[in-house]
Structure 1
Amino acid sequence: MPVSMADVARRAGVSAQTVSRVANGSPRVDPGTRLRVEKAMGDLGYRMHRAARALRTGQTSTIGLVVSTLASVGNSRMLQAISEAAAARDYALAVVTVGERGIRDAFARLRSQGVDGAVVLNEATELARDVDPPADLHLVVVDSPADARYSIVQTDHAGGARAAVAHLLSLGHDTVHHLAGPVGSFAAAERERGWRAALADAGAAMPDPVRGDWTSASGYAAVDDLDRATALFVANDQMALGVLRALTDAGRRVPEDVAVVGFDDIVDAAQYRPPLTTVRQDFDELGGCAVAALVAAIEGGAPVAESVPTSLVVRASSGSR
C-alpha cells in the first residue's frame, strides 16, 4: 500500500498537518521537527502525489530544460546532471528544444505544461538574451553574460583556458595556437578570452584562431590551417578527437611534433590515442547549482550568479619538450 501522510506523522510523532507543511515547504515548522519529518519520509519512502501538491501550493514541482541540441557531449552531460539534481529534489523535468519557431515558442510550450521554472542551456542562452522572459516563468541560464533578469550559472571557461595555455607554455613552446568554438557561443568566447589572456601574460605571439563548430569533423578539417602549430589548445574534446586523427593522417606525431590540450574531459578523453590532456568541467556540480538556483527562485529568492571552477587533467597528449 502507498505510504500516507498519516503513516509519516505516526513515525515522526507529529500531526498530519505538520507533515503537510513540511511536504509543501512551509516555513512554519521548527527546524528540528522538519528534520524528523524528512527522516520519516525517507525511511518510509514517502512521495507526495504531484497533483495533490499542485492543488495545495499552486506549483507543479516540474521544471523545464531549454536546449538547442542534445547532439553535443556537453549538452547531453548537462541533461543527465540536471535530471539527477531535479529528481533529488523531487522535481520532474520537461525538455524542449528550440526549433524553427524560436525560443518564445519553447517558453510557450513549457508554460503550457505548467512548469514552475526552466533552465536554459548553453547555445540556447544567446537566444534567451534577445527576448524578455515570461513574467511568470522563473529562469536560470547556464553560460551567459551577467543579466539582472535571471540567475546565471557558468563554468569558469576563461580560467580553465588560461591554465591549459600556461601548461603548454611551461613545456617550452613559443606560443599556443587555438582551435576555437563557433561564433555566438558564450563558452567559446570565454575560452578564447582565457587563451588570449594567457598569451598576453607570457608576452607570447598571438596567432589568429581557427574556428570549428564543436564537432570532431570540424576538428579534423581545421588541421590544414594549423600546419605551423607546435602547441594547440582546442576548445572542446570532440574537436580535439578530430585533430588527433588528422595529425596522425598527416604524419605529425602527438605530442612530439604537436602538443594538444582539449576542454571538457568527456568520458572517453582518457581513451584517445594518445590520452588527451584536457580541462575538466564539473557537469554534476554545474547541473546541481542550476537546479538549486532555480528552486530558490521558484521559492521567492533573488537572482544569483555562480561560477563553477575547472581543473586541468594532464595526460600524454601534451607531452614535454
Structure 2
Amino acid sequence: MAPPKSRVTIKDVAVAAGVSPTTVSDIVNAKGRVDPETRARVLKVVADLGWRPLRSARGLRTGRRGIIALCLPRRPRSGDSWVLTSDYDMRLTIGAVSAAMDQGQLLLMAPTPANDEDVARLEVDGVVLVDPEEGDLSRIALRRNGMPVVTVDRELGSDDPWWVGVDNKAAVSNMLDHLREQGARRVAMLTADSPWAWFEDTQAAYASWCARHGFEKLTALVERANPESTAAAASTVMLSSDAPPDAVITDVYGAALGVLRAARDLRLRIPQDLMIGSAVDGHVLETASPPITALDLQPMDVARAAVLLLERRINGDDNPAPIIVGEGYLRIRTSTQRRDGR
C-alpha cells in the first residue's frame, strides 16, 4: 500500500515555478507588480499541483478568518420540548448554512457565550445570535469584545438596528383574523412570562386585536420548560368554566398539544367545539390528530437574511436598518377549518 501523499505547500509551488514563496503569495492574492509571463507560469503550476492556500494563512493577511458562528439560545430541553424546539432550530441552521456557503464562509455552531472567556474562544469574524433576551449577557459580552453581531429578532430595551425577523404582530393578527372568519368570538391566549421580543409582540397583538373587535381578553401563562403539561392544565381550567373559549392560540413551543389533550379529555370536538392554533409551526403540529393550524415564521429566510446582514456589518457597513422578511405563513389545517375548508 502506497504511503499517503503529503499536502502540497506554497514552497512546493515556488520550487516548481522557479520563484520565491513571496512571489507565489503575491500572485494568488493579486498583490504587487509581477511580470505577466511569471504570473502565468506560477498560476499554471498552482493548477497543476492543485495547491490551495490555507484559510488560516489568508486570515493573517486579511484579518478575516472566513468563519461565522450561529449561537442558539439555551432553550429548555426537558421532555419533549427538545423535539419541538429542535425543528425550528434545525430550519434556522439550514438557512444559515446555505447563506454561509453562498458567501464562501464556514459556519460554526457554537454555544451562546456567557462571558468574555467564552467570546475569546470564538475565533470567528462575527456572530448570529438567536432570540436575545432583554439585557442579554451574551450580546453584552460580544459587544464588549468588539465582535460583530446580528440578532434574530430584536432585543427588548435596545435600539440596536442590527437584527432580522418577521413582523410578529402582523403574523399573530393574521391568525386571529382567520379564527374570527371561522366564527370564533371568545379567543383565549396561552403565553409565557419571558423577556423576549417575541412574547411582547404576540401579547401586544392579541390585546390590540381583542380591543379592536370588542372581545374579552382571556389569557393564561404556561411554562416554556414544560409547555404541553402546563398548557393542558391551564386549558382544562378555561374550558371547564361557565364561559369557555371557542378558540385557543398559543405562542409557546408545544403548548398547542397540551390544549389538544385537554380538549380530548373534556370530549370536545375539534374544530366544531374548539379551534386550536399555534403561533409557531413544527412537524409535530402538522402530524397531530387533527393537524393544528400554525404560523410558519420563515426561519430559513430569516437565517439567510441574518448571515447576509452580518457580512455587511463585518465589512464595515455604517448604514444599518432592521430587516423584516415578511409576516410569516399561516398554515391552515383541520384544527381551525369550520367553514368551507378554508
Shift of 1:252: 1.6
Pick aligned residue for 2:323 from 303, 306, 309: 306
CA distance in 1, matches of 2:27, 2:203: 53
Moved more, 229-238 or 272-281: 229-238
Q: What is the CA RMSD across the aligned residues, in angstroms?
A: 3.1
For 1:219-234, list aligned pairs within 5 A. 219-227=231-239, 228-234=244-250
Shift of 1:17: 6.1
SS at the partner of 1:226? helix
The aligned residue for residue 311 of structure 2 is: 295
For 1:201-220, list aligned pairs within 5 A. 201-213=212-224, 215-220=227-232
Amino acid at match of 1:175: R
Q: Contact 1:67–1:124 (CA<8 Å) still a contact in 2?
A: no
The aligned residue for residue 150 of structure 2 is: 140
CA distance in 2, matches of 1:311, 1:272: 19
Shift of 1:237: 5.2
Pick aligned residue for 1:88 from 69, 91, 102: 102
CA distance in 1, matches of 2:54, 2:253: 42
**Deviations along 1:220-242, whole A, 9 cap, x unmatched?**
23322321121111114521122
TM-score under structure 2 length normalisation: 0.73
Q: Does 1:320 align with 2:338?
A: yes
**Deviations along 1:192-232, whole A, 9 cap, x unmatched?**
11112222221222223433416333332332232112111
For 1:1-321, list aligned pairs within 5 A. 20=29, 49-69=54-74, 71=82, 72-73=85-86, 74-98=88-112, 103-105=113-115, 108-124=117-133, 126-128=135-137, 131=140, 133-144=143-154, 145=156, 147-149=158-160, 151-213=162-224, 215-227=227-239, 228-236=244-252, 238-302=254-318, 303-309=320-326, 310-320=328-338
TM-score under structure 1 length normalisation: 0.77
CA distance in 2, matches of 1:160, 1:47: 47
Amino acid at match of 1:79: T
Cα distance change of structure 1 residues 245 and 295 upon mapping to structure 2, 3 Å threshold: same
Amino acid at match of 2:323: E
Percent identity of equivalent pairs: 22
Cα distance change of structure 1 residues 62 and 146 upon mapping to structure 2, 3 Å threshold: farther
CA distance in 2, matches of 1:111, 1:125: 23
CA distance in 1, matches of 2:8, 2:218: 65
Amino acid at match of 1:194: A
**Deviations along 1:67-112, whole A, 9 cap, x unmatched?**
33253233343233223322332222333334xxxx542x532333
Gaps of 5+ in 1: 7-14, 25-44
Larger Rg: 2
Q: Contact 1:125–1:142 (CA<8 Å) still a contact in 2?
A: no
